[in-house]
Every structure is written in C-alpha cells, then in structure tokens.
Structure 1
Amino acid sequence: MASAKPGENGSSRIRNVGRAVFLGTGLLGAIVLIKTLYLQTFQHGKWLRRYEAQVYTQKRYHFFRKPIVDKNGYPLAITIVEKSVCADPIQVSNPAEAASTLSKILKVPEKTLMKKLSSKKRFTWIKRHISDQKAQLIKRAKIPGIYIIKDRKRYYPHKWLGGQVIGFVGSDGHGLEGIEKCYDDVLSGRESNKKVARDGLGRLLWAGTPEIWADKSELKLTVDSYIQFVSERAIQKCAEKYRAKSAQVVVLDISTFEILAMVNWPFFDPNLYKYYSPEAWRNRVIMDIFEPGSTFKPIVVAAALEEKILRPNSIIFCENGSFRVPGHTIKDVHPHGWLSLSDVVKFSSNIGAAKVAMRLGAERYYHYIRKFGLGSKTGIDLSGEARGIIRDWKSWRPIDLATAAFGQGIGVTVLQLAVTFGAIANDGIIKKPFIIKDHIKQNEGRQIMSRETAREIRKMLVRVTEKGGTGAAAVPEGYKVGGKTGTAQRIDPRTGKYSRGSYTALFVGFAPADNPRIVVAVVVHEPHGAIFGGVVAAPVFREIVQNVLPYLGIFSKSKLENT
C-alpha cells in the first residue's frame, strides 16, 4: 500500500481544522443570531424595561403655584423665580475650605455650613433665595459640588395688605395660613414627571434646569385692593391714636354679600411671616369672639316689630337711668324718662332695650337671634370661622334676658355683625358672605324679617347718626348714612367679671342711607383715652365711606351740585 506523503497529511489536517472552525463559527453565529432575533422579537419589551429601570428614574416637577388676585385682577400673591445654593456633599472635595468661602459670601456661620457639607446625603440646601450678586460670587469661586439653581418663591407684592386673609406658604411651597392654606389644593396646580438618567452607582446625572411650567389660571377674590387699602389706613390711624390692642374692619357689598375688605390690625407682612408671632397671623375677623354691646339693639327691636308687640312710636319708660331687675341694676349712661322705641335706638338706652326684650320673652327673642344666624357660622368660604356664643334660652335668668338686649352675655365675630346689618340693609334678606369670586353665583339668601320691618329699622339707624344721636360722628360730608354705636365692657380673664377699665368700641352701619350699597363694621378692642363707639369707631366708618362711595360711583350731593 502506498503511504501518504508527509506534506499531504499536514494539509489535510489544516483543512479539517479550518472546516471545523468555520462550521463552529457559523453555528455559533447562527445561535447568536437566532438568540438575538428571539430577544429582539419576543423579549424586546422585557429587556428594554429592565434597562430603563436601571438607567432612568422619574423626577416629579410641579407647575407654578397659581396667583391670588383681587376682584379687578391686581396680584396679591404671585410666584417668582430666584437663585438658591445647593450642594452634593459627596462631590465637595474640601468641606472646610468650601464652608469658609460660602460663609463669607452668604453670611452664614461656618459651623452650620460644615455640618451640611459633611453630610452623606446627595443633596442639601445651603441657602435659598439669594441675590444675583451673591450667586455670581459663588459661581466665580468654582467650588466642586456647589450649585446655583433656579428656585421658586411665593411673593406678596403689597406686603401687609390683607396679610391675615391671604396667609402665606412654607418653605415647601404649601399653604400654612389664610387663603393660601384653605385653597392649597386649588393653588398648588398640577404635577408632571420627567425622565432623568442615572450613572452606574445610581446617582442622578445633571438633567439641566427643569422647564418652568406656568398655569395661566388664578384664584380671584372679591376683595378690592383700593377699598382694602382705604380701610387699613383708616383703622391704623384710629388704633394708633387710641393705643388699641387690636382692631378689625369688614366692608360688605349689600346686594351680593361679597367681602370688599377684611382688615386685621396690627398688620403683618406674609413675606416675613417668620418674624411675627402666630398670634399676628390670625384672621380675627372670623376667629375672635367678643360681646357686641349696643350694636345688638336693632335685633331686639326688629323682633318686637315682627311680633307686632311694639311700633316705632310706642312709648317706653326708661326709669330715669336706673332699672332694677331681680338681683341686679341696669343703668343708662345718660338718664331718660319716656322714649319712643325709635328714640331707644337713637339714644342707645339699655333700659329701654331691656324692657323690649322682657316684653318679647326669652324664647321668642332667642328665636330671632338665631334667625339672624348668630350662634352659627356664617358659612364664609374660609376655614377657621368661629360660631359665636348664644346660650340656649332655657338657661336664661331674668337678668340674662335683659342684658342680651344690649349685647351682654352674647358672643359674636366682626363678620357676623357685618352680615346682621347686611340683612337689615338688604330688606331683610340674609346671605352667606363670600370672598372667592367664583362662589358668588351660589348665593341666593333667605328672608329673615319682613321688608317693612327692615326699612323701619333702617330709619331708626339713620336717626342714630343725626344730630343728638350717638353716631353723629359717623356721617361723611355730603352723605346720609345709618348705623349703630356700641361700647361693650370686656371680661377680665383673671376674675371672670366685667372690667371697669377695658372696653370694645364699635360702629356698624350702611351707606348711603336711601339706597344702601355697603355695610362697614368697625371694632376696636381696648382703646385708651376714649372708650365709646361713637367717639372711637364712628370716625373710622366715616373716613372709609367718604373714600369708598365716590370710588363706587356714588357721589355726594355737594359734588353733584358742583358738576
């Protein structure tokens, strides 16, 4: 047998190995191709989701908080963009040096900054809402791990104008007081998610400045900035003159019961809320309860007229200034003998009012107090409203019935007083007060006394402001108005008894007299130097009305005669 040549055997083996490698490579390639096609065709979604879960995360962004505007669209609360400093402490190579540099620029203690920069967190605020000048200095310092970013801030352009009503938001952008808190869900706007990439260690990669989204809608109030300003200016002058502890004003539109102004003094600036005590944040117009004094007398008189027990010209003996009720004595500031029911209101006789209440009886009088909505919330579209205090008539003693006629033993809010006089001025129709413009359409109201009774009460209240009446100081030049004074003793919290040196001065009225458009309630707590509502509060009413009526297009007789 012939043997193969050595060269031929080597070539054969090489060819066999080549074939094997080729076949193996082809087979492996085919397997890879088939696997790839399988993964791409049948498991593409699964692996894509797994990849995205490892590489990307969702970061939530908020739309700008909606602005709050007055009834004419003027901004009361807006959101602005400012610069803030933040850090990724892991990336800060030299915390001590960074803290020293930042401390000099930001005027923040180095110890405070060192604590933040030594954190193991990936994000910490250094200081929020800094000036552009400071932001530029930090950028020039080029400190690793320190970033300047755009940050949102709630801003109140008119400072203390309506401060307690509007409220404020906290550092997280959510409302903490006032309308900002009550309507936080409405104002906060929508949220949106944005996909952001992460590195192999799960750290967020810089995604650039997030898009600034602005919601073009707004929350419109019934408050008029001009009327609010006029009211704040008037009550501030009064409160400072008489060194009052606090004071409030409400201006109410009679036809709709819109709140045109809601004032709390002392004022506070929501931009600087951290520098005020929580007491300064309170909207006392709806939260604080006090005794209304003689501003309550129109209610007992209205009840007597409705029940046809008395007429406006009915005569009442006012006991020459001193009247004995079992165990107690009721007195008038100025003694009177016989007075008509109308004069009882004009001269504010406590004895006359007490006798009217005693003619009515506790049950009937209580029924009318409740018809005016007293002892219940008015239903205003704000949170934190107090109900007031009206004890059940079954617990009243004779003295309780008598003193309730002139507002003792009764607890009300400023808003409740404004609504009560609103019903009198609105021909006996009471409505819910509103401060959010969109809610006005829901306001229908209910009749709580006859139109005739309401008009008789208005005539009496106009006489209060005429010569000789307790409210003569409330009359603006060129206008006729109506209203009622009140001077209420305050209870000493230490003794639980009425204080001889602490009073609340009140005036609540409507204007103009012939066709009422607004109610103005003025309450001044603990004035010094004078205590009577006709002296302290009535001039505030006069100043507000003198400015507001022309603004509403209602001009005085002298103005019309000169045109």
Structure 2
Amino acid sequence: MSSSKTSENQALAARGWRIWLVLVLLVAIVAGISSKLFSLYSAEQAFLRSQGDKRALRTMLIPAHRGLITDRNGEPLAVSAPVATIWADPLMMDLQDAGLTRLAQLLGEPPQALRHELTANHERRFLYLKRQVTPELAEAVEALDIDGIHVDREYKRYYPSGEVSTHLVGFTNVDGEGQEGLELAYNQILRGEPGRKLVLQDRVGRTIKHIRSLQDADPGESLQLSIDQRVQYMAYRELKAAVEVHQADSGSAVVLDAQTGEVLALVNQPSYNPNDRSELNTGALRNRALTDLFEPGSAIKPFTVAAALMSGDYTRDTLVDTSPGYIRVLGASIKDHRDYGELSLTSIITKSSNVGVTKLALAMEPDAVRNLLHNVGLGRDTGTGFPGERTGVLPYLNERQLVERATMSYGYGLSTTLLQLAQAYIPLAADGVMRPVTLLKREQPTDGTRVMPPGVAPQVLEMLETVIGPRGTGRRAAVEGYRVGGKTGTVHKASGGGYAEDKYVSVFTGVAPISNPRLVIAVMVDNPKGQEYYGGLVAAPIFSRIAAGALRLLNVPPDRWPEPPDSSQVAMQ
C-alpha cells in the first residue's frame, strides 16, 4: 500500500509540474505578444506606416514632350503625338476574366494567343502588350477595368514630310531616343527631362488618386533647320525622277545659300518613309550627300584655274597650247576629247581640257592647287555635326609626284562628299570669301574667311557661265530668265584597284544667278545606266530644274531678259 501511494504522489507531482510549465509558457507567449503589439503601436508605428505607404504610394514618370523640328519657315518636320502603352502584370491577373476576350479584340490579336502569352509569363510583374496605340484605344482598354492591365501615356514621333526630309531629320526608336540624322545629333536637347508625380494605387496597381506633383516635365527644345521645305520637296522630286529615268544606283543633290552658307535643301535617292519602317532597306538609311565619297572629276578644274590666276603669272586670256590633244607625264598619258589647240584659261573651262589644267598645275608651285582645295574645305570636316559625316581625302603631294599633281588638277586622286563640293563653290559665288555651311537656321550671316584675292572669283564665275553656253559641256544646265554657271564632271568609278570602263559618276556643280549669286547647287548621280552618262547630260538637267524652281520659290529676280528685236528688221516686216 505504501509503495502504491508513493507512486501516486509522484505522478501527481509530475503532473503539477507540467501544468505549471504550460502556464508559464502561456504567460510568456501572452507577454511576448503584448510586448510586440505595444511596440507596433508605439516605437515601430512610423516605420510600418512608411512601409505601408511604399506598397500603396508610387512615384510615376510624366513623359516629356520631345522638341519640335521645323524648317526655316516654321513648317514642322518632326512632331510628337500623344499615344499610349498597354502593359500587363500577369501575376495579379485572373486569366479566366471574360474581359480578356474583348481586350484581345481591341489589340487586334486572337483571344487564345493573348491568354497563352499571359499564361506563359504568369510569374512576371511586367509584360508589354502593345506600344504606341492611339489615345482612343487606350481609353477603351481602361474602360474594361481588368485587374493587372495598365495604360501609360507617352509620345510617338511623326514626320509630316515623310521620305522627303528623312535623311536629314532622321528618326527615333520606340522609346523616343534619336537613332539617325539630326534626331540623333541633337538628341540631348530634343528629348527633354521627364517629370515625376506621387500617386496612390490599389493592390493590383491601378491608380486611385493623384497625390501631388513632385517635378514637372521639362519639354525638349525645338530645333529650326536651315532647309526650306518648299525647295526640299522640289529638289527631291527632280532628283527622284532623274534617278529613275537613268536607272542609276543612287543620287544626291544639295542647295546652299551662297550668302549665308545655309543648306536650303539636301536630298538623296534611294530614300525611305520614317513613319513606316517595317520594310526598311538599311542601304537607304545613308545620307549619301554627307557620307558617300567620290572623285569629283572636272568639277575641280575651276579651282586649278583660280590657283593659276592667284599665282599672278596668268590672266583669263592667257593662251595654253593643248596640242596635240594629249600630254605624257612620267609615262602616263593624259588626253582631251580632241585636239583643241591653243586655249585661253576661259576656254580651258569651257572645253573642260584635261591637258590645259595639267599644264597649269605643273607650271605652278607643287602645293598651289592642293592648298586652294584645302582652303575651300576639301579634305576637312564641314562642321555640321551630322552623325557619320566623312571628311574625304586630300593627299599631300611633293614636287616629284608629277602624275598625282596632274590628276588632282582635274579631280582624280582625291575624294569628297557632295556637301563638301557644294561648299567649295561658295567662295566662287562670294568673291573669294569662304563661309562654313550649316544645317541650322542662321539669324545673322557669319563673317567668313577670305581664301582668294578680290577679283579672282568673279573672273572664274564668268568662265563658268561659258560652260552653259553653246560651246560648253553643260548646255542643259541653262535656266530660262537667269544667268547661271557651273562645271560638269564625268568620273570613272574606282573598281578593283583601277577604274571601271562602264561605270560612271555624273556631277554638276553650279551657281545662280551669275549677276548676284544666291544659290550654289551640286548634283551627283551614281552609275547611270544607258547611253547617257556624262555629267552634262545626266546631272546638268537636274541642276537646271532645281535652280529654276528654287530661284522662283525664293523670289530671286531674273537677270537675263530677252534681247529686244532689231527695230530695222521690225520695220522691214
């Protein structure tokens, strides 16, 4: 009996100890919970409130309006239109929501495809559904009120002039960043700075309330170009028609204001539509007037003659014997089309005599022609800041390089862009003053730098007018009612370490009007196919049509009037 009572007492003692242990643990747990609750409602209240706000308050970006690009007269070339982006938060979505069928219809895709895309990305928190949609479509999507479907406002770039100005203006990507042309060159000032605002959102990310603006969006600056959109359209139309007629590989044309150096038009073929780049050929992206190099050929001869006049050893009437129609220089034969005999400096330009300019170049200081070409901008950056613009090649020549000096005198052995070539003719139109070219509108003309003595350029300009006359090589460049002058160039294309016999570059560069030069126009057509390939037959007519249209659009008065009929002949009739 005593042993059983002892066991009973031990069991009761053990049970009592366990009860007290449980009670102590319960008291400790309650105390811990009470302590934590006290802490949450006192010391950690501010922290918890901030954490809650972070899950409900959001800082949203306010897109900045990209700066406008206009022509010199304020006509828009690049504008930003309001659009929207539709995106999804698949993790917060009900994939069985009936509204997804209507959403798919609005986005223009099969409902099953949309559901499959959302299912495949069900763990993601962000998924683009469609970008740059119209504001009307965005409003329709918002009206569906589907959990996890969001609409952000942004801007889309639009180019009113389409393919006409695209090589100059360029374009932006879907995020509004400049990718080509001046959109790329001036991206930093065009893009602006986005603003920020504080908003209250619900658990699925929908904006419930706009709290306050944190920072206003800073729109980008506008950019006013030097081009005149009227002249640009007209030049583009004429160049495109000629490239198609002659089945050429490509072509370019540049129109400069001879008084300011401003680019009034710059066009290329082939081109592309920046508003629809779905079938864009990358070869059409190049702004060939600034990136493609070619040997200018006979378009350089006026500068060889100018260098001769600057030497003081020649006048415009000095005779140079070009017989028998060719000359040999260190074993190399340089030829004219025929034996012209004795030619004055004026006739050397009129007839485009290779022999004549070769004799002039070899009779002068070794660097005379090269220095003048450098001073008028060949082989140097034009300073436009255009992405990818090339400087060309203007080699240094010593006195022993007779063949190279000879070929440089008529435009071989050096390379240039069409814009450089047009710029080089500005001093001929401005009495020897060189003005830098610009793609932006100038409020005030620059002073310029004198590269020829006074009086030399006007003489060369009058020589260039004879090229358009009945005995010249550029008769098709004539413009009714205006005195114009210029120089043709027909260059064999370089191929495989030599020159191709059946591929040419046709060039014409000229000035209008001669009496008071206002325009410098350069035209280049690459590899015209067919029987017509000379610069005087291919490029000169393009110059004529562009000059005629530009002079009238700019209200430049005619300087060539029809001669009055002979009064005696009228009386006899």
Place the TM-score, normalised by the shorter chain, in its bin.
0.7 to 0.9
Change (3 A) 1:558 1:516: closer
Give 3-state SS (helix, strand or coil) of 1:319's partner. coil
**1:172 aligned onto 2:175:** yes
Contact map agreement 1:164 1:178 (CA 8 A) in 2: yes
Q: CA deviation at 1:82?
A: 2.8
Distance in structure 2 (CA, Å) of the matches to 1:420 and 1:150: 48
Distance in structure 1 (CA, Å) of the matches to 2:475 and 2:67: 45
Give 3-state SS (helix, strand or coil) of 2:436's partner. coil
Aligned-pair identity in percent equals 32
Aligned 1:205-284 pairs, distance under 5 A: 205=207, 215=219, 218-284=222-288
Q: 1:191 is matched with which residue?
A: 194
Q: 1:533 is matched with which residue?
A: 535
**1:307 aligned onto 2:307:** no
Q: 1:545 is matched with which residue?
A: 547
- After the TM superposition, which of the residue ranges 169-178 and 206-215 deviates more from structure 2? 206-215
Q: 1:369 is matched with which residue?
A: 373
**1:118 aligned onto 2:125:** no
Q: 1:154 is matched with which residue?
A: 157
Distance in structure 2 (CA, Å) of the matches to 1:541 and 1:503: 18
Distance in structure 1 (CA, Å) of the matches to 2:140 and 2:194: 33
Q: 1:12 is matched with which residue?
A: none
Q: 2:503 is matched with which residue?
A: 502
Contact map agreement 1:128 1:151 (CA 8 A) in 2: no
Change (3 A) 1:71 1:351: same
Q: 2:87 is matched with which residue?
A: 86
Contact map agreement 1:381 1:436 (CA 8 A) in 2: no
Give 3-state SS (helix, strand or coil) of 1:412's partner. coil
Letter matched to residue 541 of structure 1: F
Q: 1:19 is matched with which residue?
A: none
Distance in structure 1 (CA, Å) of the matches to 2:445 and 2:556: 27
Letter matched to residue 405 of structure 1: S
Distance in structure 2 (CA, Å) of the matches to 1:447 and 1:336: 34
Q: CA deviation at 1:535?
A: 0.6
Q: CA deviation at 1:502?
A: 0.6
Q: 1:476 is matched with which residue?
A: 479
List per-residue Cα deviations over 1:398-454 (Å, max 9, x = no partner).
2111111111111001011111111110111112111112x5548331000012111
Change (3 A) 1:72 1:116: farther
Give 3-state SS (helix, strand or coil) of 2:501's partner. strand
Distance in structure 1 (CA, Å) of the matches to 2:86 and 2:53: 31
Letter matched to residue 459 of structure 1: E
Corresponding residue to 1:399 among 403, 411, 416: 403
List per-residue Cα deviations over 1:59-85 (Å, max 9, x = no partner).
222320011011010100000013443
List per-residue Cα deviations over 1:538-558 (Å, max 9, x = no partner).
111111111111222223368
Give 3-state SS (helix, strand or coil) of 2:267's partner. strand
- The aligned length equals 520
Give 3-state SS (helix, strand or coil) of 1:524's partner. strand
Letter matched to residue 193 of structure 2: R
Change (3 A) 1:191 1:150: closer
Give 3-state SS (helix, strand or coil) of 2:268's partner. strand
Contact map agreement 2:193 2:220 (CA 8 A) in 1: no
Contact map agreement 1:89 1:118 (CA 8 A) in 2: no
Change (3 A) 1:401 1:64: same
Q: CA deviation at 1:464?
A: 1.0
Contact map agreement 1:82 1:152 (CA 8 A) in 2: yes
Q: 2:344 is matched with which residue?
A: 340
List per-residue Cα deviations over 1:37-66 (Å, max 9, x = no partner).
xx9xxx999998777556534222232001
Corresponding residue to 2:417 among 413, 419, 424: 413
Letter matched to residue 197 of structure 1: L
Q: CA deviation at 1:133?
A: 7.4
Letter matched to residue 507 of structure 2: L
**1:70 aligned onto 2:71:** yes
Q: 1:61 is matched with which residue?
A: 62
Contact map agreement 2:392 2:415 (CA 8 A) in 1: yes
Give 3-state SS (helix, strand or coil) of 1:251's partner. strand
Change (3 A) 1:396 1:315: same
**1:489 aligned onto 2:492:** yes
Give 3-state SS (helix, strand or coil) of 1:272's partner. coil
Q: CA deviation at 1:259?
A: 0.6
Name stretches of at least 5 consecutive residues in structure 1 with no aligned partner: 1-31
Q: CA deviation at 1:356?
A: 1.0
Give 3-state SS (helix, strand or coil) of 1:473's partner. helix
Change (3 A) 1:558 1:497: closer
Corresponding residue to 1:316 among 317, 320, 323: 320
Aligned 1:460-475 pairs, distance under 5 A: 460-475=463-478
Distance in structure 1 (CA, Å) of the matches to 2:399 and 2:192: 50
Distance in structure 1 (CA, Å) of the matches to 2:203 and 2:147: 21
Q: CA deviation at 1:150?
A: 3.8
TM-score (norm 1): 0.84
Letter matched to residue 553 of structure 1: N
Distance in structure 2 (CA, Å) of the matches to 1:53 and 1:142: 24
Distance in structure 2 (CA, Å) of the matches to 1:319 and 1:174: 61
Give 3-state SS (helix, strand or coil) of 1:240's partner. helix
**1:444 aligned onto 2:447:** yes
- After the TM superposition, which of the residue ranges 319-328 and 220-229 deviates more from structure 2? 319-328
Distance in structure 2 (CA, Å) of the matches to 1:272 and 1:527: 29
Distance in structure 2 (CA, Å) of the matches to 1:224 and 1:187: 21
- After the TM superposition, which of the residue ranges 546-555 and 241-250 deviates more from structure 2? 546-555
Contact map agreement 2:194 2:218 (CA 8 A) in 1: no
Distance in structure 2 (CA, Å) of the matches to 1:417 and 1:555: 26
Name stretches of at least 5 consecutive residues in structure 2 with no aligned partner: 1-37, 565-573
Contact map agreement 2:464 2:487 (CA 8 A) in 1: yes
Letter matched to residue 535 of structure 2: G
Change (3 A) 1:433 1:116: farther
List per-residue Cα deviations over 1:153-184 (Å, max 9, x = no partner).
10011211211110000011100000100000
- After the TM superposition, which of the residue ranges 184-193 and 212-221 deviates more from structure 2? 212-221
Give 3-state SS (helix, strand or coil) of 1:230's partner. helix
Contact map agreement 1:99 1:117 (CA 8 A) in 2: no
**1:428 aligned onto 2:428:** no
Letter matched to residue 556 of structure 1: P
Distance in structure 1 (CA, Å) of the matches to 2:116 and 2:474: 65
**1:295 aligned onto 2:267:** no
Q: 2:23 is matched with which residue?
A: none
List per-residue Cα deviations over 1:88-131 (Å, max 9, x = no partner).
21233127987766555544475577335532332322112345
